[in-house]
Amino acid sequence: MVAKGKTYGKKKGRDLASIFHDLSLSPAKPATNGITQILAPTSNIDNEPPPELIVAPEGEQAVETADQDDNKENRPRRKAWLGKQPEERTVKKDQTPTEISQLTSLDFVANDVISFRKFCKGWEKNVKLSKIGQGGFATVLKMELKNESDQYSVWKLMPLKPSKGSGSRPCCNQTFIKDAATEVKMLFAMSDIDGFVQFRSAHVVKGSVPDQIVKADEEWVKNLDTNDPYYGTYMTDEYPSKNQLWLLMEMTDAGQDMDKMLCAARLEKRFYSVHETSDIFWGIAEALMRGEVQAEFEHRDLHAGNVCIKKRKEPLDLTTEHCIPRLSKYEVTLIDYTQSRLTLDSGDVLATAIDESIFRQMDQDPDAQRQYDVYRDMRNLVKKKKKQRVTMGQMWNEYVPMTNVLWLNHILKELMVMTQSISGSQEELNMIVALTKLRSRLGSLSPAMSEAWKYCSARDVVCGFLVDA
């Protein structure tokens, strides 16, 4: 399996960024549930001294593609020592332009940098908190109101790394502030598109990890298998600094990631019906198609861990606007746009250069190796489309929707291995034949092939299947 400490290719526990501040934006939609109303902290207006300013390098922009690897350094992991933590003050916002203002100046991010402990004040009384996932660069938490169990949301907790000043020394897996700003912009931009996770709020906080999150982290680690890469690794060990900056992003709960579902099915020797496989695959394909049409979107890291699946209480109304009818209760959501690319209505492009180290990764596990092969095929494809005088880092700004086809092929292969006809009806057998034929066509894609290849985007995959059906 892919090592969890890597930036890319994590298949378990993945973490469940899109407007410049000078663009005209409508304000973020207010949350419709009680979570944000209870958790939203109020500004602390007092006479405390201003925080240390972290000034952004001259001319730096939030959408600049990143090719540094400084935030991916790891230090040896130790067992946590849980001592009493001092109370931290609220960090007041200063009007002087700073690096962190790349986040706090956005209309859909809270304006103030608040003490982490102050932000979490009241959680123990009102909220049931659990940790549900860990990625190389983020922790995923689930929060439920104790008095209203149907009111809950998911929070992605991302440690930030300033380019210089306090907190800029390498420490575990942190995200550069400008890259975090790009991700939250993407999350906001894609929020209203069906099949993408719905954004609720974002906050920047400062300080060491609060006690309630520490407890949730310890409980999560305790339940891990001893062979798990994260076993014995604690957040208090990784991020002890009281100067640590964090980005908290609140989203709706999209369900369980597909990788966990497939792993559970393998352990239980259980197969999915062709109806379930069809609904999951076409849910992914149609979400990508809508992203392409509305925002020239490429996911660029769409392994099974970045697809979330939730069962609806009622079957989907077949009169809804889906190109391919749904036959089960599965609802699909695409998550984690860290490596994604999209175009805003203004024409501005949001993208992050993919770290070159991923293209050199090899793994003895065949499934993991196939996933690494997708990254290499994707790079070769983008390089082939690269315009003259465009640098390797800048080439990731280009719109190459065929990368979505590469990932659809990868996903379909994983699904078909776990699929069989349940009833043995002719309808199910015909569906299996159709999906197998599609998998064969998708698998014939090579980055070196001519422009005349049939599927150049997720939209082509969906429309082509409808024509052939």
**pLDDT tens figures, 411-421:** 999 999 999 87
Q: Given 3.40.80.10, 3.40.1350.10, 3.30.450.20, 1.10.510.10, which CATH number is that of 258-468? A: 1.10.510.10
pLDDT at site 22: 39
d(CA 51, CA 94): 8
> Does 161 appear as a known binding residue?
yes
Q: Which residue has the tokens 């005088």?
A: 389
Residues of the chain with CATH 3.30.200.20: 34-253
pLDDT of residue 87: 45
Q: Are strands 175-176 and 256-257 parallel, antiparallel or unpaired?
A: unpaired
pLDDT confidence of residue 37? 55
Closest CA to 112 of 213, 34, 40: 40
The average pLDDT across 50-60 equals: 41
pLDDT of residue 7: 40
Quick check: 250 pLDDT over 80? yes
Judge whether residue 239 has pLDDT over 50.
Answer: yes
- The Cα 249–Cα 20 span in angstroms is 18
- The closest of 286, 272, 229 to 466, measured between CA atoms, is 286
Task: List CB contacts of 80: < 8 A, sequence separation 6 or more.
Answer: 214, 218, 234, 235, 236, 237
- Please give the model's pTM, rounded to 2 decimal places: 0.76
Beta-strand relationship, 127-134 and 139-145: antiparallel
| CATH superfamily of the domain spanning 34-253 | Phosphorylase Kinase; domain 1 (3.30.200.20)
What is the tens place of the pLDDT at every residue in 149-193? 777 889 999 999 988 766 555 666 899 999 999 999 999 999 999
Q: What tokens appear for 133 in the block?
A: 């996932």
Give residue 285's pLDDT.
Answer: 96
Indicate where the chain has its CATH 1.10.510.10 domain(s): 258-468
CB atoms within 10 A of CB 442: 19
Is residue 103 a contact partner of residue 247, using CB atoms and an 8 Å limit?
Answer: yes
Task: Calculate ∠ Cα 321-327-332, nearest 5°.
Answer: 65
426 pLDDT exceeds 70? Answer: yes
Is residue 45's pLDDT more than 90? no
Lowest mean pLDDT among 33-47, 126-140, 411-425: 33-47
Q: Give dist(CA 174, CA 70) in Å, integer.
A: 9
Rg (CA), the chain: 22
- 48 burial type by CB count under 10 A (0-12 exposed, 13-18 middle, 19+ buried): exposed
**pLDDT value of position 313:** 75
User: SS3 letters for 110-125?
Assistant: CCCEEEHHHHCCCHHH
Tell me the helix, strand and coil percentages in the chain, rounded to 5: 35, 15, 50
- Total residue count of the chain as it appears in this document: 469
Given a cut of 80, whether residue 245 has pLDDT beyond it is: yes
The mean pLDDT value for 391-412 works out to 91
Mean pLDDT of 378-383: 90
Look at residue 83 in the predicted model and tell me its pLDDT: 34
The answer to whether 132 touches 154, Cβ cutoff 8 Å, is yes
- Report the C-alpha gap between 313 and 90 in whole angstroms: 43
Calpha distance 353→343 (Å, rounded): 15
Distances in Å between the alpha carbon of 38 and those of 151, 165, 417? Answer: 11, 33, 45
The owner of tokens 């929060």 is 143
